[in-house]
Structure 1
Amino acid sequence: MATSLTAVPESSEAAIPGLRARDDATSAEWPIYAVVVASACIVVGLIWDISWHRTIGRDTFWSPPHVLEQLAAIIAGLSCGYLALSTTFAGESDARDKSVRFWRFFQAPLGAWVCIWGTIMMITSAPFDNWWHNAYGLDVKIISPPHMVLASGMIGIELGAMLMALGAQNRARTESARRRLGIIFSVASGLVIVMVTIMLTEDASFANDMHGSRFYKATALMLPVFLVAFARASRLSWPATRIAVVYMLVSMVAIWVLQLVPARPMLAPIYNAVTHMVPMPFPMLLFIPAAVLDVLMRRFGDERDWTLALVLGVAFVGVMLAVHWFWADFMLSPSARNFFFAADKWDYTNRPGPWQYQYWNLDRDAARNFSPLLLAQGLVVAALIAAASARFGLWWGKGMSRIQR
């Protein structure tokens, strides 16, 4: 009887075509995942830090939120630093082709350089902020030079994480890889939107602001540019809606978790005796206007950007008004004063009063009465601002869709 011997493959990689390629792709992507996780930790740390200031006050630089933010910056910086050094000194030609040169020698993806810059800014801000508070007092102003340095570093890491995911998505050669990296890009983009909305806290976050044109002007300026740009650069369906959902989920989970943490003020004067961490306001219902943006962008395509920008601007402000005008009424009602919606949560420095349930920054005439005409004029201005914001977003998104490095 004849016996045939079949050679056993030396490794399972040789027996399964494409396994080595998938493993190489996964190992090459780990800096992206590390930076996106660091980006998420920065957002969580910032939300926690704001709640800490609203509930406890600034007691020490080494508070848990500050430590989380700085550790996240270090993780992002070390991951991208390793990526730059390994690409420069040990990278293959394919890795070098996907990189950007710095100082004509060091090589790394564009997003990695942005993250490294953001890390330097965040770490630099730490001793600067500590000195500033020692010199000028605790919580003198939110807008201060060290806080601006810190904010620029945070935004740098958020944008760097988004750019790293974007470049990997655009380079992906298979549908499964494009979808996986597209989801990572959506998450990173959603974290950027969270940062943008935090910047809008004083003008466009409380329900009390939603009956004045100032709210719609602020959101028209800051939100369409990012939503439209990220949506145009994404390879997934319903991209703006996905990004808005990420923003809402992150914000809502933070609200629910913070309310469970017992805390008391430690810095006078105390006018509101809070007993648990004070959360951020409930997020805007951004997924609704985002879905409208997705429908319009899919309908118009890539050829009529000026017309599309005008339509997007009018639609964004119109949908925001239709949704949040009535949403504000609900959020100021007793029905929203519960764990889920977390309405009527105020800083320990706020004196309780009827202002909590009133509308702020209304469009008023010379007699200080609410003026529908002035509101309408303000909304027209908001629509024009949104159109300009969307037009820049379309241009930016078209450029982002071509990023390979």
Structure 2
Amino acid sequence: MQSALNTPVSLPVDERLNRAVDWRLGIPLYVYAVVFSSLCIVWGLLWDIMWHMSIGRDGLFAPPHLLIYAGAVVAGLFSGFKILQLTFQKSHPDRAVSVRFWGIFYGSLGALYCVWGALAMLTSAPFDDWWHNTYGLDVQILTPPHTVLAVGMMIVQFGAMISVLALQNRLEDRRPESEAEKRQAARIRLMFGVSAGLLLSILFTLFSENMGEWASHNSSYYTWAAIAFPVYLMAVGRASPLRNGLTIVTAVYMLTMLIPSWILPLFPATPKLGPVLNPITHYQAFIFPLVLIVPGLLLDKLLQRYSGKVNDWLLAAMAGVVFMFALLAVQWPFGEFLHTSPYARNWFFLADSWSYGDDPNWEYRYKYHPYFIQSSTQFGLGFAQALLIAFVSARIGLYWGNWMKRVQR
């Protein structure tokens, strides 16, 4: 006789539905799907970079590419289904808070972004394959097909963030009171932090060629950072209801960047294209990311103290100064540690990672190249320019964040 412990329990349909809704906390399934897609895209891209550093030869259906495409397909299918559901099911409760486009279709703003981004990503795949077959290996991250892919990836990730943001803003307007609503609000806030951190990871990756530790004592390093990060961090900080939202976002970004670089080098990989100047036997890690969690923490404190108390122009000026000096205080010594110290040449800090196509005995592998060395005057003038750029970047970010706080569709 079968034991009662092994006998399957048949739950009533309503109870099974309630349990299914409970783990989702009333959050639509497609929102979970697009945030998962965003993670697949980031880790697929990082895997692809490490594949090129370690193996070289790839193709349309290389494993990293498949992970990236899986992210595009999942985001596109779930978001497309949501759009068709809202379009043809006129009684759907979410139709009232959806966007109408082309005079026929209804969908959330985030779902629209995800579909458009997924189409761009999948279009770039055969374009990239043709590019490789015609021109050979890429020597830069942003080749024409990669640019199409990068735009598509960022649109999908922005769509994931906006999908969560719309739910968050609608719930915040209702001021959750019940225990279930509070749990739902906490989950949505966390998902916003995760989705924003994943998009920040892609943003850093696109700028990483100009922000390696080898340039950390050059003003151009800080100029690129001023262009890329204050605009995004201030937008997310303004839109997030989390008390320490930017600390969470930057922590997610750092873990997202580091986990693949900590795991993949544990697996064997050998070059399949020549010339092989560095005969490696395992995957080579990507670079250690900028320690943005420190500027993120300080910007959180700044927003908590002054947001709504001073005008946005003054807040942007303070944010630009805080971000740039915090970044300088962290990255100047830490970049030198990563680039020159033998204690950084290990699994954790990744400083011993070196592509198979680069000479491991290069003179400037572990010291600064003369090209990146500046006098104090040159660095000071360059850093002053970066401060001005950071101010403009932060002001645009606050404007963007004000828009994001109003998104409810």
**Contact 1:99 / 1:107 at 8 angstroms: preserved in 2?**
yes
1:391 CA displacement: 0.4
> Secondary structure of 1:282's match?
coil
Q: Which of the residues 225, 236, 246 maps onto 2:231? A: 225
> Secondary structure of 2:28's match?
helix
Q: Which of the residues 350, 355, 360 maps onto 2:364? A: 355
Match of 1:4 in 2: none
1:393 aligns with 2:397: yes
1:349 CA displacement: 1.1
Q: Deviations over 1:172-218 (max 9, x none)?
A: 242332221010010000001000000111101x2111111111010
Q: Deviations over 1:53-74 (max 9, x none)?
A: 1111133221100011111110
**Whole-Å separation in 2 of the counterparts to 1:111 and 1:58:** 35
Q: Deviations over 1:123-145 (max 9, x none)?
A: 11111111122122232543322
**Whole-Å separation in 2 of the counterparts to 1:133 and 1:335:** 38
1:235-254 correspondence runs (5 A): 235-254=241-260
1:261 aligns with 2:272: no
1:92 aligns with 2:91: yes
Classify 1:27/1:83 alpha carbon distance in 2 versus 1 (closer, same or farther; 3 Å): farther
Amino acid at match of 2:363: P
Match of 2:327 in 1: 320
1:55 aligns with 2:54: yes
1:322 CA displacement: 0.7
1:83-232 correspondence runs (5 A): 83-92=82-91, 94-139=93-138, 141-172=140-171, 173=174, 174=176, 175-204=182-211, 206-232=212-238
Match of 1:339 in 2: 347
Amino acid at match of 1:284: L
Q: Deviations over 1:102-147 (max 9, x none)?
A: 1011111001000000110011111111112212223254332211
Classify 1:63/1:282 alpha carbon distance in 2 versus 1 (closer, same or farther; 3 Å): same
Q: Deviations over 1:81-105 (max 9, x none)?
A: 0000111111535311221111011
Q: Deviations over 1:154-188 (max 9, x none)?
A: 11111110000111111124233222101001000
**Contact 2:25 / 2:184 at 8 angstroms: preserved in 1?**
no
**Whole-Å separation in 2 of the counterparts to 1:299 and 1:391:** 17
> Secondary structure of 1:235's match?
coil
Q: Which runs of 5+ in 1 are unaligned?
A: 1-10, 365-369
Match of 1:374 in 2: 378
Of 23-32 and 387-396, the range deviating more from structure 2: 23-32
**Whole-Å separation in 2 of the counterparts to 1:182 and 1:90:** 29
Amino acid at match of 1:220: A
Q: Deviations over 1:277-322 (max 9, x none)?
A: 1111111111001111111111111241100101110111101111
**Whole-Å separation in 1 of the counterparts to 2:262 and 2:191:** 24
> Secondary structure of 1:284's match?
coil
**Whole-Å separation in 2 of the counterparts to 1:187 and 1:25:** 16
1:23 CA displacement: 5.3
**Whole-Å separation in 1 of the counterparts to 2:20 and 2:266:** 45
Q: Deviations over 1:247-295 (max 9, x none)?
A: 0111121111111111011111111111111111111111001111111
**Contact 1:363 / 1:374 at 8 angstroms: preserved in 2?**
no
1:383 CA displacement: 0.8
**Whole-Å separation in 2 of the counterparts to 1:40 and 1:317:** 28
Of 255-264 and 20-29, the range deviating more from structure 2: 20-29
**Whole-Å separation in 2 of the counterparts to 1:168 and 1:284:** 31
**Whole-Å separation in 2 of the counterparts to 1:88 and 1:361:** 61
**Whole-Å separation in 2 of the counterparts to 1:157 and 1:252:** 22
**Whole-Å separation in 1 of the counterparts to 2:47 and 2:90:** 39
1:296 aligns with 2:302: yes
**Whole-Å separation in 1 of the counterparts to 2:200 and 2:139:** 27
**Whole-Å separation in 2 of the counterparts to 1:356 and 1:158:** 35
Q: Which of the residues 282, 295, 299 maps onto 1:276? A: 282
The total of aligned residue pairs comes to 386
1:28 CA displacement: 5.0
**Whole-Å separation in 2 of the counterparts to 1:280 and 1:186:** 23
**Whole-Å separation in 2 of the counterparts to 1:74 and 1:12:** 31
**Contact 1:77 / 1:119 at 8 angstroms: preserved in 2?**
yes
**Contact 1:213 / 1:375 at 8 angstroms: preserved in 2?**
yes
